[in-house]
């Protein structure tokens, strides 16, 4: 979606931000990403193996708990507030 800023406001200066929120240790995230890449290169993989890898990838980036979701919202709002404060000083 970040490209839409350039498309919709070509005259504006744009600085984007990507926020990443931890769910599992970094090594597990890397293993999940590698497994997903392996799966992309091996379409012959069985359905059960595909399901396990896709669940591993989802778990690496998402935790289905209200507490985690609340932290994500608060951190996102804080980042937006910091950006507005930064623009006020510009």
Can you give the pLDDT at residue 45?
97
Is the residue at 72 inside a domain?
Answer: no
Tokens for 90, please give them. Answer: 């510009």
Chain mean position to CA 37: 17
Rounded to two decimals, the pTM is: 0.66
Give 10-residue mean pLDDT values along the chain (90 residues). 83 84 90 97 97 96 94 93 86
CB contact at 8 A, 63 and 18 = no
Evaluate whether residue 68 is within a structural domain: no
Q: Structural domain of residue 54, as residue ranges?
A: 23-63
What DSSP character marks residue 23? Answer: S
Q: Is 30 part of any domain?
A: yes
Asked if residue 50 belongs to a domain, the reply is yes
Domain count, the chain: 1
Angle between helices 26-41 and 47-61 (to 10 degrees): 140
Of residues 3, 58, 7, 8, the one with CA closest to residue 28: 58
Q: What is the pLDDT of residue 6?
A: 85
> What local confidence, expressed as pLDDT, does residue 90 receive?
60
Q: Is residue 41 included in any domain, yes or no?
A: yes
């Amino acid at each position: 979606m970040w490209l839409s800023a350039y498309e919709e406001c070509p005259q504006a200066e744009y600085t984007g931000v990507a926020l990443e929120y931890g769910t599992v240790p970094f090594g597990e995230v890397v293993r999940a990403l590698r497994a997903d890449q392996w799966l992309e290169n091996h379409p012959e993989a069985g359905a059960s193996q595909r399901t396990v890898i896709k669940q591993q990838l989802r778990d690496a980036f998402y935790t289905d708990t209200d507490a985690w979701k609340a932290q994500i919202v608060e951190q996102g709002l804080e980042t937006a507030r910091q950006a507005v404060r930064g623009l006020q000083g510009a």
